[in-house]
Chains A and B, each alone.
Chain A
Amino acid sequence: MTAYAYTEQPFVRPPELDGGKTEAPVAIVGAGPIGLAMAIDLAQRGVASVLFDDNNVVSVGSRAICWAKRTLEIFDRLGVGERMLEKGVTWKVGRNFHGTEQVYAFDLLPEDGHKYPAFVNLQQYYVEDYLLDRAREFPDLIDIRFLSKVTDHEDRGEGVRVTVETPEGPYTLDADYMLACDGANSPTRTRMGLDFSGQTFEERFLICDIEMEESPFGDRDTPERWFWFDPPFHPGKSALLHKQPDNIYRIDLQLDTGADPEAEGTEDRVLPRIRAIVGDKPFRIDWLSVYRFRCMMLERFVHGRVIFAGDSAHVVSPFGARGGNGGIQDVDNLGWKLAAVVTGEAPRALIDSYDEERRHGAEENILNSARATGFMTPKSPIEALFRSETLRMAHDQPFARELINSGRLSRPCSLAGFPLQTDSASGQVRPGTAIIDAPVGDTWLISLVQGALTLVGFGGVRLPDVEGVRRIGIAQRTDDYPCFGDMEGYALGRYGMGKAYLFRPDGHVAAVFATPTAAGVAAARDRALGRKPVLTEAV
């Protein structure tokens, strides 16, 4: 139904069907945003993968539209960030209304000096197409197989045997690791009989993308997030409005408990609901779907040689945009670790840290998404009462505004306190925190730092030469390593003067040093790579 011009991807007969073999350490099941990003991340590190998808087009219908700053920074590293920024609708302000009156507004990025904005709205099919284009730039490292359905797998200890069904027959392929990026209804998860537990919300939500020339935001076409509790056009329920590129607007409407999803998904039922919002301005329905949301996750993401990432590992309700954004943080966390293990640079235990760190991320996303959905859908008279009194007071009481929860939007997850980080009290930014961008020289800190273990010196701190660690100086001068200016003072303001930070390849701070010594940096590097502490002869 959507007007998007889908390109049908061809089925290419794989060598396996003619008795051949493919040598790739990693098999990825599912070419959604997570599987595609995973393949690109590995390819950028020289690790080959075979990527299977049972379908032959990118995301049918829009689904994800809101991509958070951290995701864009990761996508920048993967080579699609700038394209997304250019096409997407940039926004940072959210407004909450009760009835017709605005009760609360928030600005998600009230400061300058960042390459990427708080959010970009862009239809999921664009994002997947950009990722696919990028993946095609690695023909020797990414073997994409459409119309190839993984129907079985066997973890053989040393690797995984994957069974694939295709239009031209079945075959098997052996890989060292299998990444299950096969989405919310993950067949891999079902096959393994893994418990996927959490909360299902009874209420149905109608999600609709409409195309219209005139803006439903009113006179000014405002790229903002507008959320209503109990609006006049949809009494007693909630509604959400977003702008997307191509004159497409996303409308979410909460439906009655027990609403019939089939009936509610018909144009007869939907058209009057949309007209109630946009009035008699002409519009066209581009896509619609009725959802019931779940907040659930796996108990563990790593099962021997099978690793789950994205929706297969965790699902959330979309209020807060934590689904796809959470999944991209999985990719960011797993990519460098898996590559380091496959190339023998780090022990297998490093993969367990993915499990631990990203389960923490998923728990945070589930907590926030479940609370927001709970606020929208009170489950008892007393919950409804607290909510209505909060909303009433929010008209003039600032404290009550803070309690209104229409979604706490995706933020970078902090990994503080996990074992890969070296604890230290010396810096302004704690170990575990995701990189905070700043303009440096004629580029950005994220562009310089992300991708490999990097030691950055801010101000007059000298950086020792340590094997496997890149060095970069900010607001200092030396011939030993590249240095960049901090003309506007953002970098020193954000990180402090005279400190050295060791960043992990995913841009999280691994350690902070007031006086970085070669031994200290090497120890932090080994720790970040999950290596057992190496005993020196002196001990």
Chain B
Amino acid sequence: MPERTIHASGFAGRGDDIYAALLKAHEGLTEAESHALNARLVLLMANRIGDADTVSDLLKTARSYAE
């Protein structure tokens, strides 16, 4: 098993709203535009998290599914 952190839910019951908002943000975009949006979103979220260790833990977890 690749190394990953198991994350409990932090959505406070608003998970469906957040997921829908995520999809809505991509509506009508080409694939390239969607990729660009995701890149901006990742950068914005990384900045909002701020802490380098937390970001790297999230990256490790995301990456683990590609291994």
Chain A residues within 8 Å of B, Cβ to Cβ: 382, 385-386, 388-390, 392-393, 399-400, 403
Contact between A386 and B43, CB atoms less than 8 A apart: yes
Asked whether B35 lies within 8 Å of A385 as measured between CB atoms, the reply is yes
CB contacts (< 8 Å) of B35 on chain A: these are 385
Complex CA distance for A386 and B44, rounded to whole angstroms: 12
In addition to A385-B35, A385-B36, A385-B39, 6 A-B residue pairs with Cβ atoms within 8 Å of each other are A389-B36, A393-B43, A393-B44, A400-B43, A400-B47, A403-B43
CB distance from B58 to the nearest CB of A (A): 16
Indicate with 1 or 0, residue by residue over B24-52, a CB within 8 angstroms of chain A CB atoms. 00000000000110011011100100000
How far in angstroms is the closest Cβ of chain B from A400?
Answer: 7
C-alpha gap A388/B35 in the complex (Å): 12
The SS class assigned to the A binding surface is helix
Do residues A389 and B40 form an inter-chain contact, with CB atoms below 8 A?
A: yes
> Given the complex, which residues of B lie within 8 Å of A386, measured CB to CB?
39, 42-43
Residues on A with beta carbons closer than 8 Å to the beta carbon of B42: 386
Given the complex, which residues of B lie within 8 Å of A403, measured CB to CB? 43
Q: What is the total of A-B residue contacts with beta carbons within 8 Å?
A: 23
A389-B39 in contact (CB<8A): yes
Q: Is the interface of B mostly helix, strand, loop or mixed?
A: helix
What are 23 of the A-B contact pairs (CB < 8 Å)? A382-B39, A385-B35, A385-B36, A385-B39, A386-B39, A386-B42, A386-B43, A388-B36, A389-B36, A389-B39, A389-B40, A389-B43, A390-B43, A392-B40, A393-B40, A393-B43, A393-B44, A399-B43, A399-B44, A399-B47, A400-B43, A400-B47, A403-B43
Whole-angstrom distance between the Cβ of A286 and the nearest chain B Cβ = 41
Closest CB of chain B to A480's CB: distance in Å?
Answer: 48
Specify the chain B residue showing the minimal Cβ separation from A403: B43
Chain B residues near A385 (CB-CB < 8 A): 35-36, 39
Q: Within the complex, what minimum Cβ distance (angstroms) separates B10 from chain A? A: 22
Distance between Cα atoms of A399 and B40 in the complex (Å): 12
Chain A residue with Cβ nearest B32: A385
Chain B residue nearest in CB terms to A398: B47
Alpha-carbon distance between A183 and B18 when the two chains are bound, in angstroms: 57
**Complex formed: what's the CA distance from A392 to B37 in Å?**
11
B42 closest partner in A (C-beta)? A386
Contacts of B44 in A (CB 8 A): 393, 399
Distance to closest chain A CB from B59 (angstroms) = 13
B contact residues around A393 at 8 Å (CB): 40, 43-44
Smallest CB separation, A379 vs chain B (Å): 16
- For B36, what are the chain A residues with a Cβ–Cβ distance below 8 Å? 385, 388-389
Top 6 closest pairs, chain A to chain B, by CB: A399-B47, A389-B39, A389-B40, A385-B39, A386-B39, A389-B36
Of B42, B43, B44, which is in contact with the most chain A CB atoms at under 10 Å from its CB? B43
Interchain CA distance A403-B52 in the complex, whole Å: 13
* A382 to B35 Cα, complex, angstroms: 9
In the complex, A385→B43 CA distance in Å? 11
CB distance from B41 to the nearest CB of A (A): 9
Q: In the complex, what distance in Å separates the CA atom of A400 from the CA atom of B44?
A: 8
Chain A contacts for B43, CB-based, 8 A: 386, 389-390, 393, 399-400, 403
Minimum Cβ distance to chain A for residue B53 (Å): 18
Residues of B close to A382: CB separation below 8 A: 39
Q: How far is the CA of A386 from the CA of B39 in the complex (A)?
A: 6
Tell me, in angstroms, the Cα distance from A222 to B14 when the chains sit together.
54
Min distance, Cβ B52 to any Cβ of chain A, angstroms: 13
Q: Note all chain A residues with C-beta closer than 8 A to B47.
A: 399-400
Residues from chain A with a CB closer than 8 A to the CB of B40 are 389, 392-393
CA distance A382 to B47 in the complex (A): 19
